[in-house]
Chains A and B, each alone.
Chain A
Amino acid sequence: MDENTVFEINDFTNVTDMESFGAAFESILQKHVSFGRRPFLPNDVKYKMVVTATNFVKVGTRTVQIELLQPVANSSSEHVFNHPDDENEGENKNPEIDESIVVPFTATKEMQFHEDVFLSHDDLTVKFGVRECILISSSDDSDNFTDESQYNIIVGEIKTVIHMTGCEIPVFCYIKEKTLDFIQGYASDGNECINFTSSVLRNINKRHCNLHDLLLIFKEHLGAGSSAFHDDVRICSRFTHIVKLRKSKYHRLYTTDSFTRLANGLVDTLPFDTIQIVATWKGFRENSLTENHNYSDFDVNYASYWSVKINPSKNIFGVFDEILGVYSDNKRKQIKTDITCGDILEKHYVQQTTTNAFQKLTVNSASDVRFGNSHQSDREGTTGPVAPAIIQAWVDFIFQGHFSNDHFSDELQLMNDSNVYSKDASHNDIKIDEDLENLFNCPNISSSNDFLAPYKCAKKDTTTWRLAVALANVRVYMRSEPHAEPQLWIEFLLQLRKKYENMEDVEIVPNGIDHTLCGFSQKMQMIQLCINARKKRHAILDCAHMDKNDEFFDASETFRKNEICESDVMGRREKSSMMLIGDPELPMYLPITQDPCPLTDEMIDQRNSHLFSLEEEARVNEQMELILSDMQSFKAANPSAVFADFLRWHSPKDYNEKTETISERMLIPNNVWLRSWDNTKPVPAVNQKRIFNYTKIAEETFEQFENATLETVRQWIKPTVFAATLERMAEIESAYETLEDKKAQKVKIAKTLANATQNIVMADYNTISNYCCQSEIIHNMKIYLIHLFEKARESMEPPLPSNEDIRKAVKSLVNKTVANIWENSGLTETDYIVKPQEPIGRALAVLCQVDKITEKQLLNSERKEYIFSWILKNSAATGHKLFYRMYADLRSDKHSLYFANNSDCNFFSSSFI
């Protein structure tokens, strides 16, 4: 043979698309699969199918996706059964099958009757019984196998490869779109084979919707074997019922109790409105249960077990989402927030009446201002979003922590009556809302969790804290009225100004500005310090005919300086034990001195950057204020004192009493200390220029407050709102013990918030926001479920479910829902399985009003599924056992049948290749 012939052979092996597909498929099998007998898994369905390999193979112009699905042990399977039923375990093994002869073909073994198959979450396990398979589908939805002939070509190739390699894993192939669930498959061990087929119907023939008719279909499908019915068909079935609870609309009720607490609970819908009960009948033989057009034995109360889940409402978010949402989501900002609160109100209400009102701060209260149309102006107070009595109560709460307003409860009732209920609300619904409102409010807070993490926010029980709570609450309470929030801010400012003018306390300041608190809290403390300084100044200026009612006292203050009482002229505080060096006859008097100006963080930053920008000399001069003031005071108190005397008082390190010498550094010629001393005149503190110019600082702060945009206001109270939310979260959780001990998580969250508040880390705030919102949703669900269970228990006959039973049930139900909603919840979705005749099952039946499910509903429940299984003990050809299986999935819009037929006549052989 010459070389050319070899070339010709190469040329000849011009592979077809199918051949190249076959080769690719084979190489995939070689790579991922071990051939021959597959391991058989114990039949307890604690496995889930996981895609372990995905490959894409080109067939002509089309790309097909080949996935290998393999069973992985489900680690959280301990929750599968609430009460494991030991007596059933023996039935898992079918005693009629003699396993001793040969190691069986796993695919046939898996399709044998297995009564717990409905506990599996895997589609293909339910449909065909398999727990391991290769799945072929079109990688692109627009490019499906549109007919069976295309499928047959592919499957033909696959069969060839399977037989060649001895791969015993079933191979499935989707025809048309995946969502149609039209799937065919094949498996073989060389001797016998299984054909998997399906038929999906959209136009449903009502005749084939019950057990009786489906059984006929199954038997017809058995074909040849049907003559040999010496054994019963075994069946299991599963009916899905969706039970509607009351309508999901929920109305928040306003109560005096809830008024002063950070709002929590539901926004406007109940956490869920339907409960899904999936009633399963484990294996039974044909004729033991009947179902036909007119009659059904499938009474939901007598199912083998229920798998129950709650279906969350569309809007499951709670109030915390409403409160914290404005900080993370721009969409939720219902009004423009980048303009001042005054402007917000102005824009939406009659302009000429509000312009003056909010610019002139001497107005007593915004409640005196009338908004709205003129025909309403004869009504008492404001026609703005928040009624005068309510807003007054809120302002009183902010400043005093409590309120007493006679009109308040009437107004509250009015609010509840008018906006809240439409006419169709039934008395019962209102009652439930009241019950829930009470539940969410947690009237009995057993222990309040005080986080020790150092949040940089206002302290609890301060005005700032209450302001943050009130501003958050007003947003929740007046959800439909976004202008309520700016209105409250303006009312707060007016009251703050009033209190400042009257020198009433507005905030707790124990010991100077607390720099560990947030910026806004520091501003409030500053106002209080300004008030304190004013009080002190007034006390020093001990003048008889001061007009206490004069609101413009500050303006006239400078003119009264000459009226200072004679006794204070020296500005002496106390006599010291030292005698003056300047005049040894006289004792040294310690002078009354001025306090340095308190500074907020913001002011410190400004001052520091200013100092930083100066040259050294200017910097020193800038900081001389306090020393000059001290020198003036000291000279006034001790007219005959010398520089050494000043040092003995002010900087004792710089004067050696033993050697009676001044330190070297203070003796440097023309140093700033000496120079200043020489140039200072004696002036008692009271007559000096004020170091803490409280009038100026207070006015500047007020100006900031008045000109703040709504967004700024929200940012100011942000750290406090977040801390208050976490605190409230801890309160409500401890009140109902709804959350298991999650101390580590709580500590972590507390630390995250501490970091967020201290370093203004947006990501950390978002973490807290998500945590609070999710926790509240979970809490709301639990509270509502507990409420439903307890209500149900009231109308039950003994034996009643214990609190522990209810707690467990609630936990399982909620965990399942949570795992469904958030993938990252860390919870695995496990079924909540309950037996209908147990106390908790009966409670569920009452709760869902299962007794009201009618015969008709039973016959047409949401979804009905059946699995039929039959064994032909002696096949005609080989005398082997052959297995037949049919799964029927009946839904309102789609009926699907899935067949798995075992055959020992394996006509397909690899021989023709």
Chain B
Amino acid sequence: MSDDSSSPLTTLKILITGESGVGKSSLMLRFVDDVFDPEQAATIGVDFRVTSMAIDGNRVKLAIWDTAGQERFRTLTPNYYRGAQGVICVYDVTSRSSFEKLNHWMMEVDTYCTSNNIIKMVVANKIDMMNRVVSREEGLKFAKRHRTLFIEASAKTKEGVQCAFEELIEKIIQTPDLWENDRPAFRLGDTPDENGGGMCGC
């Protein structure tokens, strides 16, 4: 292996889930390519983007998996959780049903993720829209109850997108058990609290 300082510390797998049409692909594209296409086609199966970012001076390679939200593809999504270190569950602040379905998505994460301490984040998308029906407080309350990170964002205006990903990656890096290859022996007394309640300051 080379000593090249730009060689990434690790490669992280981040999964984006949520109901159909909440803007999962848009969030990913905004983060990776810094673009927004209002006419983003509905994802089929799963889509990927690979990018890298610097966290605390370390370069981290990211594989972002964007899943299809439609009911028909739901039987496939469990397959994508394998090896993921972080999950972003997205809902649309203009659609109450997409918020109400979050429970289902959280349950799926807990059922299928392979790491015990996978980092979870709830992202409330489309906050630029005028017809918001889910308040920030409701979202925050949900996130606290499920011990996840929470952030409001808009893929269209860029607001919160970069911050959401950074926050998530930082949290993963702070949990070396998730990504270190030579994992230490099981540590007793690991509290799940570490993962919960965080909130982005911006």
B54 touches A (CB below 8 Å): no
- Say how far A883's CB is from chain B's closest CB, in angstroms: 55
A620, A654, A665, A666: most-surrounded residue (chain B CB, <10 A):
A665
Contacts of B185 in A (CB 8 A): 752, 755, 761, 763-764, 767
Contact: A623 with B40, CB < 8 Å?
Answer: no
**What separation, in Å, do the CA atoms of A518 and B71 have in the docked complex?**
28
Partner of B82, one of A605, A620, A664: A605
- Say how far B159's CB is from chain A's closest CB, in angstroms: 22
A690 touches B (CB below 8 Å): no
A15 touches B (CB below 8 Å): no
Interface residues of A in 575-622 (CB under 8 A from B): 595-596, 599, 601, 604-605, 607-608, 611-612, 616, 619-620, 622
User: Could you say which interface size class chain B belongs to?
Assistant: 20 to 34
A195 touches B (CB below 8 Å): no
Contact: A604 with B79, CB < 8 Å?
Answer: yes
Known: A623-B46, A651-B70, A755-B185. A608 touches B40 (CB 8 A): no
B188 touches A (CB below 8 Å): yes
Contacts of A831 in B (CB 8 A): none
Contacts of A751 in B (CB 8 A): 186, 188
**What separation, in Å, do the CA atoms of A626 and B73 have in the docked complex?**
9
Contact: A607 with B79, CB < 8 Å?
Answer: yes
Contact: A651 with B42, CB < 8 Å?
Answer: yes
Contact: B21 with A663, CB < 8 Å?
Answer: yes
Contacts of B70 in A (CB 8 A): 650-651, 653
Contact: A673 with B41, CB < 8 Å?
Answer: yes
A289 touches B (CB below 8 Å): no
**What separation, in Å, do the CA atoms of A720 and B101 have in the docked complex?**
36
A115 touches B (CB below 8 Å): no
Contact: B38 with A664, CB < 8 Å?
Answer: yes
Nearest A residue to B22 via CB reads A653
Nearest B residue to A593 via CB reads B72
Contacts of B75 in A (CB 8 A): 512, 595-596
Partner of A623, one of B21, B39, B44, B116: B44
Contact: A611 with B48, CB < 8 Å?
Answer: yes
Main secondary structure, interface of A, reads: helix
**What separation, in Å, do the CA atoms of A761 and B41 have in the docked complex?**
42
- Say how far B139's CB is from chain A's closest CB, in angstroms: 20
B7 touches A (CB below 8 Å): no
Partner of B21, one of A605, A611, A654, A767: A654
- Say how far B13's CB is from chain A's closest CB, in angstroms: 10
B78 touches A (CB below 8 Å): yes
Interface residues of B in 102-124 (CB under 8 A from A): 112, 114, 116
A515 touches B (CB below 8 Å): yes
Contact: B40 with A665, CB < 8 Å?
Answer: yes
A672 touches B (CB below 8 Å): yes
A422 touches B (CB below 8 Å): no
B19 touches A (CB below 8 Å): yes
User: Could you say which interface size class chain A belongs to?
Assistant: 35 or more
Known: A651-B20, A663-B21. A758 touches B42 (CB 8 A): no
A615-656 interface bits toward B, Cβ cutoff 8 Å, 1 = contact, 0 = none:
010011011101100100000000000000000001101100
**What separation, in Å, do the CA atoms of A672 and B42 have in the docked complex?**
9
Contact: A620 with B19, CB < 8 Å?
Answer: no
Contacts of A747 in B (CB 8 A): 188
- Say how far B11's CB is from chain A's closest CB, in angstroms: 12
**What separation, in Å, do the CA atoms of A666 and B75 have in the docked complex?**
22
A428 touches B (CB below 8 Å): no
- Say how far B32's CB is from chain A's closest CB, in angstroms: 13
Contacts of B34 in A (CB 8 A): none
Known: A611-B48, A763-B185, A764-B186. A673 touches B42 (CB 8 A): yes
Contact: A650 with B42, CB < 8 Å?
Answer: no
**What separation, in Å, do the CA atoms of A512 and B38 have in the docked complex?**
37
**What separation, in Å, do the CA atoms of A752 and B183 have in the docked complex?**
12
Contact: A608 with B79, CB < 8 Å?
Answer: yes
B47 touches A (CB below 8 Å): yes
B45 touches A (CB below 8 Å): yes
Contact: A755 with B186, CB < 8 Å?
Answer: yes
Contacts of A755 in B (CB 8 A): 183, 185-186
Partner of B41, one of A627, A671, A748: A671
Known: A623-B46, A761-B183. A668 touches B80 (CB 8 A): no
Known: A651-B20, A767-B185. A630 touches B72 (CB 8 A): yes
A759 touches B (CB below 8 Å): yes
Contacts of B76 in A (CB 8 A): 596, 626
Nearest A residue to B73 via CB reads A626
A512, A599, A607, A627: most-surrounded residue (chain B CB, <10 A):
A627
- Say how far A598's CB is from chain B's closest CB, in angstroms: 9
Known: A515-B112, A668-B39. A653 touches B72 (CB 8 A): no
Nearest B residue to A756 via CB reads B186
Contact: B44 with A624, CB < 8 Å?
Answer: yes
Contacts of A616 in B (CB 8 A): 47
Contact: B44 with A653, CB < 8 Å?
Answer: no
Contacts of B80 in A (CB 8 A): 608
Contact: B186 with A653, CB < 8 Å?
Answer: no
Top 8 A-B pairs, shortest CB-CB distance: A623-B45, A755-B186, A604-B79, A653-B21, A653-B20, A751-B186, A671-B41, A668-B39
Beyond A596-B75, A650-B70, A651-B20, 10 extra complex contacts between A and B, CB < 8 Å: A599-B79, A612-B63, A616-B47, A627-B72, A651-B42, A654-B21, A668-B41, A755-B185, A758-B114, A759-B183
A residues with CB within 8 A of B: 512, 515, 595-596, 599, 601, 604-605, 607-608, 611-612, 616, 619-620, 622-624, 626-627, 630, 650-651, 653-654, 663-666, 668, 671-673, 747-748, 751-752, 754-755, 758-759, 761, 763-764, 767
A/B interface sample: 23 pairs, CB < 8 A: A512-B75, A596-B75, A599-B79, A605-B82, A611-B46, A620-B44, A620-B47, A626-B72, A627-B44, A650-B70, A650-B72, A651-B20, A651-B72, A653-B21, A664-B38, A665-B42, A666-B41, A668-B41, A672-B41, A752-B186, A761-B183, A761-B185, A764-B186
B residues with CB within 8 A of A: 19-21, 38-42, 44-48, 63, 70-73, 75-76, 78-80, 82, 112, 114, 116, 183, 185-186, 188
